[in-house]
Amino acid sequence: MEEFKSLIDKKIGEGTVWSVDENATPKAIVIEPDQVEPVLALLKDDESTYFDLLSCLTAIDNGPEVNTMEVIYNLYSIPLEHSLMVKTTISREKPAIESVSHLWKTADWHEREAFDLFGIRFNNHPDLRRILMPADWEGYPMRKDYEEPATYRGMKTIREEEDPT
């Protein structure tokens, strides 16, 4: 784990890695949000790490009280058989981060999903639009303060409680 932090400190700059979590599965590092693209490019391209697969990109809404969101990248190196989770924290008010879809093709739809469900904008994404919800849907369903509309195009969207008897 220390080798990942040392590589990032050396090539990107000290302080880029905010913390290391050896107990996470996979092991995790937390980095500055404005360094996501250069750090992930380094981890993909450096022969000592060679993370050739972005297996998952997801997000967490920490809620309006905390006012932050997290973006999580799960990386895997097929030839080196190691994995790493890279996390970063962004503002919830205007959630935006640089796209990594130019590094891994898999990021394209993962970023669209995080945009669609959480409202996170991925700067320089080639086609950032909704992927699961209708194009005219209002709001972001995975946000903790999301309120489901009562109707959509005249159809009820609120589920009614069933009588258990």
Residue 14 domain-assigned? Answer: yes
Render pLDDT for 12-54 as a digit per residue (tens, 0 to 9). Answer: 999 999 999 999 999 999 999 999 999 999 999 999 999 999 9
Residue 165 domain-assigned? Answer: no
pLDDT score of 109 more than 80: yes
Return the CATH number at 62.
Answer: 3.30.460.80
* Domain that includes residue 57, residue range: 2-156
Strands 121-123, 96-98: pairing kind:
parallel
Render pLDDT for 144-165 as a digit per residue (tens, 0 to 9). Answer: 999 988 889 988 887 777 666 6
Q: Are residues 130 and 109 in contact, defined by beta-carbon separation less than 8 angstroms?
A: no
Render pLDDT for 52-63 as a digit per residue (tens, 0 to 9). Answer: 999 999 999 999
